[in-house]
Amino acid sequence: MRAFQVTALDQPPELTECEIPTPGPGQVRIRIASCGLNFADLLMVKGKYQDTPTPPFTLGMEVAGTIDALGPDVAGFEPGQRVAVFGGSGGLADYGIFAADRVVILPEAIDFDTAAALQVAYGTSHVALDHKARMQPGETLVVLGAAGGVGLTAVELGHLMGAQVIAVARGEEKLQVAKQAGADHLLDATDPELREKLKALGGADVVYDAVGGDPFRAAFRAMKPEGRLLAIGHASGDVPQIPANHLLVKNIDVLGFYWGGYLKFRPKIVTDSLAVLFDWAAKGRIQPHISHRLPLDQAAEGLDLLRSRASTGKVIINI
């Protein structure tokens, strides 16, 4: 089978040929149809992601496909079922081995591309906004990086959950993508008056930040008393430092958030969230935005799209 692998850290991944693996106890083998790319894949290549496997390993965190074989003692599944799974790695290949307790059976109304595109991005935003920030209808949500893979889902889910959504992104084209996802207000991330314009719109109850850098500093200074700041990531490479005295003055909560971490200590939060999201997708209430679909032999080009920020929403690799 083919697998897009990191053979050494900080070296370009390679499309390799390897043996089809056999599932062990508690595992299933999936014939993979679709795999979603994530910024974390780029970090794994450099060995800078918190859950980077030891090389050699196959990239690809979120997949959808068909169960091909079951390991010993696996119950509740059978070959031929359409499923999705967040495996953390192993998705950019013809076949993958995954823990059965992470596998979710897909509703018939959801295709493989949608299932692969939905898990990390929508899962991150749903658990962050609902469980972590406990966002309420009528509150103001500021989304930084609003046209990115996770940012766009925060805009869409924020709108669906009844918030007033302020989208912050670079350039008119990306802002229009955010508008189509339900943003009420659009602000350019490079605007030197970003802080003042956020305050003019009433300030933020919740800030969703996957970017860091200057947009973070502007949004942080425009937060309302008892605002909640979700630290999702720092795609800009500029990890923001938070002045504690500002937290005291406004009674602001800073909430560190890593969606994948819940699979280790409270996995039911993730599985319950995915059940909600798959139901919403089956009913047409959410629809992942996929800007690019590429074959497996162009996976490197897909990663380049993320690296250069040339994509909006998700990049899907069709196996």
Ranking 37-46, 121-130, 245-254, 304-313 by mean pLDDT, the lowest is 304-313
Where are the domains positioned within the chain? 2-119+261-318, 137-257
How far CA 130 is from CA of 136, 220, 230, 302, in Å, comes to 8, 20, 12, 31
Residue 36: predicted pLDDT: 97
Q: What are the C-alpha distances in Å from 31 to residues 6, 131, 314? A: 21, 33, 21
What pTM, to 2 d.p., does this model score? Answer: 0.82
Tens digit of each residue's pLDDT (9 = 90 or more) over 215-226: 999 999 999 999
Please report which residue ranges of 4-111 form alpha helices under DSSP H. Answer: 39-46
For residue 156, what is the enclosing H or E element? helix 151-160
- Please state the rounded mean pLDDT for residues 37-59: 94
- What's the CA gap between 293 and 283, in Å, rounded? 23
- Number of residues in the chain: 319
CA distance 216 to 214: 5
pLDDT digits (tens, 9 = 90+) for 244-255: 888 999 999 999
Query: For residue 230, what pLDDT band results from cuts at 50, 70 and 90?
Result: very high
CA 227 and chain centroid, separation = 23
How far, in whole angstroms, is CA 297 from its chain's centroid? 23
User: Taking a C-beta distance cutoff of 8 angstroms, is the pair 144, 151 a contact?
Assistant: yes
Mean pLDDT of the chain: 94
- Percentage of the chain exceeding pLDDT 90: 82
Helices (H) and strands (E) in the chain, counts: 10, 16
Q: Which residue has the tokens 């609003």?
A: 146
pLDDT for 261 = 87
Q: What is the CATH number of domain 137-257?
A: 3.40.50.720
In angstroms, the CA 70 to CA 74 distance is: 6
Cα–Cα distance, 63 to 35 (Å, whole number): 4
- pLDDT of residue 100 exceeding 80, the answer is yes
pLDDT band at 271 (very low <50, low <70, confident <90, very high): confident
Domain 2-119+261-318: CATH superfamily is Medium-chain alcohol dehydrogenases, catalytic domain (3.90.180.10)
Q: What pLDDT, on a 0 to 100 scale, did the predictor assign at position 275?
A: 84
